[in-house]
Amino acid sequence: GVMEKLGLGPEVLLRENPRLIYARLTGFGQSGKYAKSAGHDINYLSLSGVLSKLGRKDENPYAPLNLLADFAGGGVLCAMGIVTALYERTKSGKGQIIDASMVEGVAYLSSFLWKSQNLGLWNRPRGENLLDSGAPFYETYKTSDGKYMAVGAIEPQFYKQFVEGLGLDSDKLPNQLSFSDWPEMKKKFASIFAQKTQAEWCSIFDDIDACVTPVLSFDDVASHQHNKQRRSFIKNDQEEISPRPAPILSRTPAVPSFRRDPYIGEHTEEILLECGFTKEEIAKLYFDKVIEISKPKANL
């Protein structure tokens, strides 16, 4: 209801321009019991049902930062809604209102979990299934230098390579899908990983198709050979590292800026002048606390 209070609700603006696409991104959506309630990623995740699936055995469910509901279920699916509406407008010539709920967005993003319930992937308690840290071949293991390796050797051919990389004989181990043996196998694999450094394990698994990779820190990610070859990470003029825009388009790839991120309000005056506001009008907006203007301090 914030935009309605400002007199800028979708009905008002769509009367002015019927082709307008008006996206409303909220946690709980534009209707329903919680529509006007406050919340955060963890609340939207919990109401979607997805949070109940996240976590290790005998531990509380945990939210993976605010990536799932805020950024993926909210931001990405809202953007997809805008693109979908833009495409539809090429046929109808009309705009429309997008009601993007983070609860529904993350639930829809997790459709795989719903559709695979009867496949045997999620029929055990949290933390005891194939992809939720239950399986010894889909897990992270600590190395002797306090770093970690990630293992995703699900398919039999990759699992065989993984086991051989550890120096074990798969014929002398329990069946890969023997659930009752999983806890003991995790202990066995953990003890072996703890005997070498991350670099030593990389030297073994980099040349083996076993779905085993290093868990890279933010400090290490840009210097990894694969990421360097693809130029997956960039540095700005302040030597700050960030991901390069993705995905890569063949004809019109994004051209990233190598300048530092702007300060809040740094370009407010510049942009308003471009939009036709006078310096006097801008000064009044600033005085009335409608806008924020912040000039970066010189580094002397």
Instruction: Choose among 130, 137, 132: nearest CA to 185.
Output: 137
| Cβ pair 155, 177 in contact under 8 A | no
Q: Is 267 a catalytic residue?
A: no
Catalytic residue, candidates 58, 70, 99, 207? 70
Q: Is 99 a catalytic residue?
A: no
Contacts of residue 49, defined as CB under 8 A and 6 or more positions apart, other chains included, come to 107, 110
What is d(CA 160, CA 169) in angstroms, rounded to the nearest whole number? 9
Instruction: Return the number of other C-beta atoms located less than 10 Å from residue 254's C-beta.
Output: 11
Catalytic residue, candidates 40, 206, 209, 220? 40
**Residue written as token pair 């009309």:** 94
Contacts of residue 213, defined as CB under 8 A and 6 or more positions apart, other chains included, come to 149, 150, 152, 205
Residues noted as catalytic: 40, 70
